[in-house]
Each structure stands twice: as C-alpha cells, then as structure tokens.
Amino acid sequence: MRSALILFVLLTGSALCVSAQQIKSNKGHENNPYYSNTDTHHLNVTNAQWKKILPPALYATAREQVTEAPFTGKYWNADAKGTYYCAVCGNLLFRSTAKFASDCGWPSFFEARKGSVVYHDDHSAGMDRTEVICARCDSHLGHIFDDGPPPTGKRFCMNSVSLEFKPDGAFKTAN
C-alpha cells in the first residue's frame, strides 16, 4: 500500500510540474515566463522586459533587427527532421519538411506554419525587403524573398539565433 501511495504522489507531482503551457527546453527558458510551445496567444511584452530575459545575441536580433553573419548560425545547413520554434516565445514556426538548401548562408524555408508569422515592409540598410516577425511575440525572425523553390516560390531567410529546433519525437504538441 505504501509503495502504491508513493507512486501515486510521484506521478501526480510530475504531471503538475510539467503542464502543457509551461514546456521548457534545455536551452535555458527557465527565466522566460512567456516561453511556451503550446500557447498561441499574442504577447504584449516591452523591449525592456525582453532585455531582462533574453540572452544578448537573441535580444539584438529579435528585438533590434540585427542580422547574424551568413554561414555562422547553427541551422543554416542543418537537415534533421523536426520543428523550428521562435527562440523568444516558443511559437511553432516551421517544419523541417519546408526547409531547403540555399546558398544565402541562413536557414531557408519555403513556407511557414499558417498564422505563425506576420510581414512588415522593411526599407532599412538601403534595401526594400519584407521582414518576417513572429505573430506571437513580434520578434524579428528574418526576411522573405520571391526566389524560393516550388511549391511557393518563397524563401524565408531566417536568423538561426531566432530559431529553436526540436527533433521529431522530442515531445508531442497539439499542433
């Protein structure tokens, strides 16, 4: 009887500690109360709040639109099967099946998960481009171009630092 009670307490405690809304990775999201791979509600967090939470390189790219150097990010030539999430808030963005090899030096995808990103005109750096922003947290992810492969003809050129990859089987999502 005592063993059954201990087992019950352990199982119940484990279930309570890991709720679906608070799935954290080993990437260090313990200090980010907004990070979730399941919550899709829009966040209204100030840059001052993000600066306290995010690592400096991620903050610079996601909140100040700094672009990482080409061929330096950890996902530009990755080909593992899985899912790419926003490194800031955990929003599901891309499946690896939409990733393709590109000579640009950044991870490239031909489509994003429906409703996961929004677009803004970007006239910075003397160029006319379309910025891609996370629909949940408004963080800069990269840019989209019209030189991608079929079926969309689009190239989502993303900054690796703004992405987090979880291989298939790492955990189940509701999406």
CATH number of the domain that 123 lies in?
Answer: 2.170.150.20
pLDDT at 6: 33
> Does a structural domain hold residue 3?
no
Instruction: Out of 86, 89, 137, 157, pick the active-site residue.
Output: 157
> Tens place of pLDDT for every residue, the chain, 175 residues?
444 333 333 333 333 232 222 333 445 688 899 999 999 999 999 999 999 999 999 999 999 999 999 999 999 999 999 999 999 999 999 999 999 999 899 999 999 999 999 999 999 989 999 999 999 999 999 999 999 999 999 999 999 999 999 999 876 554 4
Of 158, 139, 166, the C-alpha closest to 68 is 158
In which domain, by residue range, is 46 found? Answer: 22-167
> Does a structural domain hold residue 132?
yes
pLDDT at 30: 83
pLDDT at 14: 31
pLDDT at 169: 83
pLDDT at 172: 56
Q: How many domains are contained in the chain?
A: 1
Are 144 and 8 a contacting pair, CB within 8 Å? no
> Does a structural domain hold residue 84?
yes
> Does a structural domain hold residue 1?
no
> Does a structural domain hold residue 32?
yes
pLDDT at 29: 83
Residue 157: active-site member: yes
